[in-house]
Amino acid sequence: MIELRAVSKRFDGKRSVTALDGVDLSIAKGEMVSIVGPSGSGKSTLLNLIGGLDHPSSGDLLIDGASLVHVSDDELTRVRRDKIGFIFQFFNLLPTLSCLENVSLPLHLRGWNRKQINERARELLDLVQLGKRLEHLPEELSGGERQRVAIARALSVYPPILLADEPTGNLDSQTGAEILRLIRDLQTRLNATILIVTHDMGVAESCRRTIRLRDGRIVEDIRREDIRREDIRR
Amino acid sequence: MMLLKLLTWPYVRKHKLRTCLTIAGIALGVVIFVGMRTANDSVLYGFQQTVDRIAGKAQLQVTSSEAGFPEEILEKVQSAVEVDVAVPVIEATAATGLAGQGNLLILGVDMTGDRSLREYDLEEGEQSVIDDPLVFLAQPDSIMVSRDFAVRNGLTTGGKLALDTMDGPKQFTVRGVMKPGGLASAFGGNLAIMDIYATQKVFGRGRMFDRIDISLKLEVSVERGKAALEKILGPGLQVDPPSSRGKQFESISRLFSIGASLNSLFALMIGLFIIYNTFSIAVAQRRSEIGILRSLGASRGQIRGLFVLESAVLGLIGSLVGVVFGLLLARGMAGYLSNFLGEVYGVAQKTESVAADPRLLLFAVLTGILTSIVAAWIPARDASQVDPVKALHKGGYEMFSERENRLRRMLALAFGAAALALLFSGGTAGPRLYGGYLCVLAAAVLLTPSLVRRVVALLRPAMKWLLPVEGSLAADSLVQSPRRTSATVAAVMLAVALVVGLGGVANASYSSIHDWMTAALNPDLFVGSSESLTDRSFRFPASMGEEIRRMEGVEDVQIVRTTRVLYDGAPVMLVATSLESLARRIHPKVVAGDPSTMYRLAGEGKGVIVADNLALLHRLKLGDMLELPTPTGMLRLPVIGITIDYSDQQGAFLLDRTLVVRYWKDDTANLFRVYLQKGVTPAEGKRRILERFGGQRRLFVMTNEQVRTYIMKVTDQWFGLTYMQIFVAVLVAVLGIVNSLTVSITDRRRELGVLQAVGALRRQVRQAIWMEAAGIGLVSIILGLALGGVILFYYLGIIREDLAGLRLEYQYPFNIALLLIPTMLGAALVSSIAPAESAVRASLVEALEYE
């Protein structure tokens, strides 16, 4: 499903910084993978590259066997809109749109008709238990509710890949646990491939596979049965 | 100052484009102000320079305005004990017919006495011409030219120069070449000297002089000499120092000068909103920075001072840039303006160089700085009131507080009520009219945020229907940022209103001029002494009119003499013809008086008919007694009629020609209005007249169609300058849109990033920004068209009461409004291209990380 071959990413400024350094990684369909590591280890960069938000400096990155390197921005956008859903730490909901409109946004962008959009958005908001808050604006919701709207938006086209960057980082522990349960539940229902970047050990443990990065390299690739709290702390 | 360096400089460096746009906002206003005023001043300076150089040592000049006076006056002047030297002068322009040389200013002087006043510094070996003026006089084809002119045209002493005279083209012999400088450099060096009696003949002036130049005895002061001469000559002739001619020209071209100043100040006002916008956004974006400063101990005054100082620096840079480009514009425009003013007002002048008045430039720079400070004052005050605790909280600062909204609405209401009160308490003239105009502008600007919200709410469904996502996002962005949006909308709205207002004036002017031409300009042919209807250098003998009348195919001829006379201190056009004949032929719109009797009475010399614009400008009404200075004394006549007449911008008197012959002793004519018999085509009539007179006289025959075309061409030129200023105002407004969108994109970086992250194509992001620009454009157009309709009312009032005295009918310029909609929408869309591209090319990763 997702394959990285010797992927590197350098940021050239006054001083050149290598965020990812020759990463090889393969993630199968339906896997739920957490990515952990200290700040600056390259977690978010890895997620951005897989999500097509950024281009690798070298190496190859394939989604469903198709390379994302050397494709145009619009082609990259099509990959994003058809195959990838994003969940951000700060929700990134559009403040002027209601819950229903925020969830409808990606569908509108795909040119769906209004009836289909309405049905799908309501269905997803029901799924994240916000069926009664359709017309609320983001500022009228709690942090957990906002993240649920963001998840519903990420799932609006049933993307095969869901990328979550610190999805619980901005929530209290109870709400965070609820969101995580929701993500796991959706993964089971939709058989989506899920990648979660997190600092939260609980979140990492809940995934079958955990990849640990340090200095832009994969230093550990841990299956669920192997993962322990102390491993993550290292 | 240190704060400025530490905080402002990095911000400016980070937002180079926005800083440039802000500077451009002020610079454009200053450019147009400096450019138009300097070009205008240069023309006035050029005129005054010519007057001074020609005046030589003359301390006083006797004139009868432009009309001239009989030769006998010279003896009276010379007999005055205070006078040392008094010499007659005729000043006229003639086309040289030489490629690229334009007109030649011909000074007709009496060579026997003129050297006492003027230096004719001739080249070596030619002094004998001057030493013995009889040599010059004995040969009536004698002419002296400046070396500059001689060199440019390969002329030497003894060479021949062809000039059009009243008796057809004639060869003149160059008897002397004047050294450069002084007199020889007047009128850009295009100067020639002729004997005054030869000049009378060449230009058909009869036994008339234009003026007498005087130097007084050593012990006589100018004031004493003036008083003595005025006593001797009576009130019909003016005795003034040469400098007063400049003032008269200035008063003639006053309308243009005021128009240029008003429009440039309007452009500056639009610039004011751009600055306000920029500073509002800067304060919003630097809120946390301000909060930190406040928590570190910066006082409110220091914060306010920082932003005010920043605005002053930007204003200074913008003003200096504006001054430089304004002077370049003036350089380009001065020549054009000189020709244009010569064409419109018929005054001979030549602009040699750009006369930059340091006071004007200083005024422009100070105005630019002041505008910038005024515009930044409210944002600076807002900055000083930032609460350090709340400063780091995101959101909300883009909105106006309810208190602010209420205050704005109440102030707008108060200004609106004041405008209405002024209007209904006689506010159609004077200070109340201007007060009402300013109140309307203030009310409109204050109401803009509320109106923007309402209009965008109305437009949102349409925008959403057009492009569901892009349209909604664009509409919401406009509503959510009223500070940013309303300042831009206010700038564009003012630009649109300016276009509607001036366009409405232009429409009404064209329409009125067209009506006047239909009513009053109905002869089949116009026989003039010059290609330009306003040039009055050459004159025909009146007998020529009788000769034309007797020609086969001619039904009637009106002999016309036009000249400027001084009335109420201003040079006003006098149109003299046979009013009895005129009454039978034309049917002008009568504003006051009895149309059935006024022409008969005026024809009998019992009254004067006054153009409506003159009546309005000088507050004349039916029955008022007019006093006109003539060379033979004051002519007193009652106003017996007021008609619509656009013969001159300053207004015109219509007199029977017999009065001009009697009082001015002037039997010449500049124009013959010829009516042909039925069956004779204008082309045939023209051919016959040219055949009859072409070989003997200098004359130009124009058909009715050609005269109308000529008048429309001059009108087009007049409004062409206005349109150029409108273009600059629109440009300033477009800069405002670019500025606003650039700010909007910076503010919405994250939102646009999210949009792309969830699948928006570049095209869709572009469309959202285009929609936002179109939204700003559309809202501005709606509000601007409405405001323009109101300010047109005030413009017409100002033109009627103060500027031109033209009673133009109110007609909303729907044609211009229809043209404006696609133009402004197009401009808005074009201005969104660069911001949209910068939005789609920004790094997505940075946009999403942005906090």
pLDDT in tens, B608-663: 999 998 888 888 999 999 988 888 888 899 999 999 888 887 789 999 999 999 98
DSSP string, B550-565: TSTTEEEEEEEEEEEE
Residues with Cβ within 8 Å of residue A179, at least 6 apart in sequence: A144, A147, A148, A151, A167, A168, A171
Query: B800 vs B15, which has greater pLDDT?
Result: B800
List chain B residues with CB under 8 Å of A73: 762, 840
- The answer to which of B380-389, B421-430, B838-847 has the lowest mean pLDDT is B380-389
The mean per-residue pLDDT over the stretch B389-412 comes to 65
Other CB atoms closer than 10 Å to residue A217's CB: what's the count?
A: 17
Does A105 contact B469 at a Cβ distance shorter than 8 Å?
A: yes
* pLDDT value at A157 more than 70: yes
Least confident of B313-322, B448-457, B714-723: B714-723
Long-range contacts of B435-443 (CB under 8 A, 24+ apart): B436/B794, B437/B791, B437/B794, B437/B798, B439/B415, B440/B415, B440/B416, B440/B787, B440/B790, B440/B791, B440/B794, B441/B494, B441/B791, B442/B411, B442/B412, B442/B415, B443/B412, B443/B413, B443/B415, B443/B416, B443/B419
Mean residue pLDDT across chain A: 84
Q: Report pLDDT for B297.
A: 66
Interface of B with A in 75-134 (CB under 8 A): none
Joined together, the tokens standing for residue B427 give 């506010």
Asked if B300 is an interface residue toward chain A (Cβ–Cβ < 8 A), one would say no
Q: Is B489 helix (H, G, I), strand (E, B) or coil?
A: helix
Q: Which of A73-82, B727-736, B764-773 has the highest mean pLDDT?
A: B764-773
* pLDDT of B765 above 60: yes
Cα–Cα distance for residue pair B663/B284, rounded to 1 Å: 74
Are the C-beta atoms of A176 and A168 separated by less than 8 Å? yes
Least trusted range by pLDDT, from A189-203, B333-347, B432-446, B755-769: B333-347
Q: Which residues contact B45 (CB under 8 A, 6 or more apart)?
A: B351, B355
Asked if the C-beta of B848 comes within 8 angstroms of chain A's C-beta atoms, the answer is yes
Indicate which of A81, A105, A197 best probes the interface with B, i.e. most B CBs within 10 Å of its own CB: A105
CB B647 within 8 A of CB B806: no
Task: Report the sign of the C-alpha dihedral through residues B462, B467, B470, B472, in that order.
Answer: positive
* B684-692: Cβ within 8 A, 24+ apart: B684/B553, B685/B524, B685/B525, B685/B553, B685/B554, B686/B525, B688/B551, B688/B552, B688/B553, B689/B525, B689/B527, B689/B548, B689/B551, B692/B547, B692/B548, B692/B551
Provide the b/e sequence for B151-180 (b: ≥16 CB within 10 Å). Answer: eebebebebebebbbbeeebebebbbbbbe
Measured between CA atoms, the residue of chain B closest to residue A139 is B395
Collect all residues with Cβ–Cβ distance below 8 Å to B155 and sequence separation of at least 6: B145, B149, B161, B174, B177
Q: How far is B315 from chain A (nearest CA, A)?
A: 34
Helix (H, G, I), strand (E, B) or coil at B116: coil
Of the candidates B138, B148, B204, B215, the residue with the CA atom closest to the CA atom of residue B175: B138
Q: What is the DSSP string of B448-486?
A: HHHHHHHHHHHHHHHHHHHSHHHHHHHHHHHHH-HHHHH
Task: Give the helix ranges, DSSP H, for B88-221.
Answer: 111-114, 127-131, 133-138, 147-152, 196-202
Whole-number CA gyration radius for chain A: 18
User: Which residue from A minimizes the CA distance to B763?
Assistant: A74
- Find the range with the poorest average confidence among B132-136, B164-168, B669-673: B132-136
Mean pLDDT of chain B, nearest integer: 82
- Chain A partners of B762 at a C-beta cutoff of 8 Å? 73-74, 77
Containing H/E element for B54? helix B16-55
Is B765 in CB contact (< 8 Å) with chain A?
A: no
Q: Which of A12, A2, A8, A110 is nearest to A59 (CA)?
A: A8
pLDDT at B45 over 60: yes
Residue B555, token pair as written in the block: 């039904």
Residues of chain B found within 8 Å of residue A9, distances taken between Cβ atoms = none
Where is pLDDT greater, at B138 or B34? B34
Q: What's the pLDDT band for B394 if we cut at 50, 70, 90?
A: very low
A94 vs B754, B761, B843: nearest CB: B754
3-state SS of chain A: helix, strand, coil percent to 5?
A: 40, 25, 35
% residues pLDDT > 90 (chain B): 16
Q: Which residues pair with A218 in a beta bridge?
A: A213
End-to-end CA distance of chain A: 29
Contact criterion met (CB < 8 Å) for A96 and B473: yes
Task: Provide the shortest C-alpha distance from residue A134 to chain B (in Å).
Answer: 17
Residues B848, A53: C-beta atoms closer than 8 Å: yes
Q: Which of A53, A153, A154 sits opposite B844 (nearest CB)?
A: A53
Q: Are the beta carbons of B758 and A97 separated by less than 8 Å?
A: no
Statement: residue B85 has pLDDT above 80: yes
Q: Which B positions 305-324 lie with beta carbon below 8 A of chain A?
A: none
Pairwise CB contact (< 8 Å): B757 & A53:
yes
Is B139 a residue whose pLDDT tops 80? no
Interface residues of A toward B, Cβ cutoff 8 Å, are 48, 51, 53-54, 73-74, 77-78, 80-82, 86, 88, 90, 92, 94-97, 101, 105-106, 108-110, 114, 139, 153-154, 157
Burial state string for B759-780 with b = 16 or more CB within 10 A and e = fewer than 16:
bbbbebbbbbbbbbbbbbbbbb
The position carrying tokens 């050459």 is B538
Task: Specify the pLDDT at position B338.
Answer: 75
- Nearest residue on chain B to A49, judged by CA atoms? B845
Beta-carbon separation of B757 and A108 below 8 A = no
The span from the CA of B528 to the CA of B505, in Å, is: 31
- At residue B97, the pLDDT reads 64
Mean pLDDT calculated for residue range B769-795? 90
Q: Which residues of B touch A139 (CB under 8 A)?
A: 395
Distance between CA atoms of residues A193 and B507, nearest Å = 69
Distance CA(B319)–CA(B221), nearest Å, equals 45
Residue B780: alpha-carbon gap to chain centroid: 27
Nearest Cα residue in chain A from B762: A74
Cα–Cα dist B422/B438, whole Å = 11
What is the pLDDT at residue B675? 94
Residue B759 is nearest to which of A48, A77, A97, comparing CB atoms? A77
Cβ-Cβ contacts under 8 Å, B753 against chain A:
92
The answer, yes or no, to whether residue B328 has pLDDT greater than 70, is yes
Q: How many residues in total does chain A contain? A: 234
Residues 6+ apart with CB under 8 A from A230: none
- B353 pLDDT more than 80: no
User: Which DSSP string corresponds to B250-294?
Assistant: HHHTHHHHHHHHHHHHHHHHHHHHHHHHHHHHHHHHTHHHHHHHH
Are the CB atoms for B54 and B186 separated by under 8 Å?
yes
What six digits make up the tokens of B365?
């720079």
Using CA atoms, how far apart are residues B21 and B271, in angstroms rounded to an integer? 10
CB atoms A92 and B848 under 8 Å? yes
- Could A73 and B762 be called an inter-chain contact, meaning their C-beta atoms sit closer than 8 Å? yes
CB–CB of B693/B557 below 8 Å?
no
Residue-level pLDDT at B736: 74
Q: What is the mean pLDDT of residues B366-372?
A: 88
- What pLDDT is stored for residue B396 in this prediction? 43
Q: Does B750 touch chain A (CB under 8 A)?
A: yes
Position with higher pLDDT, B483 vs A110: A110
Q: Encoding tokens for residue B595?
A: 């149309």
Nearest CA in chain B to A51: B757
Judged by CB atoms closer than 8 Å, whether chains meet at A109 and B760 is answered as yes
Single-letter code of the amino acid located at A221: D
pLDDT at B390 over 60: no
- Interface test mutation site (partner A, options B399, B478, B479, B758, max chain A beta carbons within 10 A): B758
Alpha carbon of A87: minimum distance to chain B alpha carbons (Å): 10
pLDDT at residue B96, rounded to an integer:
67
Nearest to A110 by CA among A158, A38, A163: A158
CA dist B32 → B28, B35, B66, B148, B492 (Å): 6, 5, 33, 34, 18
Name the minimum distance, in Å, from the CA of B469 to any CA of chain A. Answer: 6
Helix (H) or strand (E) holding B796: helix B762-798
- Give the mean pLDDT of B450-464: 87
> Could you say which of A96, A106, A108 has the minimum Cβ distance to residue B476?
A96
B254 close to A (CB below 8 A) = no
Helices (H), A89-159: 99-109, 114-127, 143-154
Per-residue pLDDT at B440: 92
Containing B785, the helix (H) or strand (E) segment is helix B762-798
Residues of A in contact with B756 (CB under 8 A): 77
The predicted-structure confidence for B279-323, as pLDDT tens digits, reads as follows 777 777 677 677 766 666 667 777 788 888 888 888 899 899 999
Chains A and B form CB pairs within 8 A to the count of 73
Helices within chain A (DSSP H only): 43-50, 73-83, 99-109, 114-127, 143-154, 173-190, 201-205, 229-233
Shortest Cα distance, chain A CAs vs residue B761, angstroms: 6
* CB proximity under 8 Å: B 816-845 to A: 840, 843-845
Residue B174's DSSP bridge partners are: B143
Amino acid B850: pLDDT: 42
pLDDT at B8 over 70: no
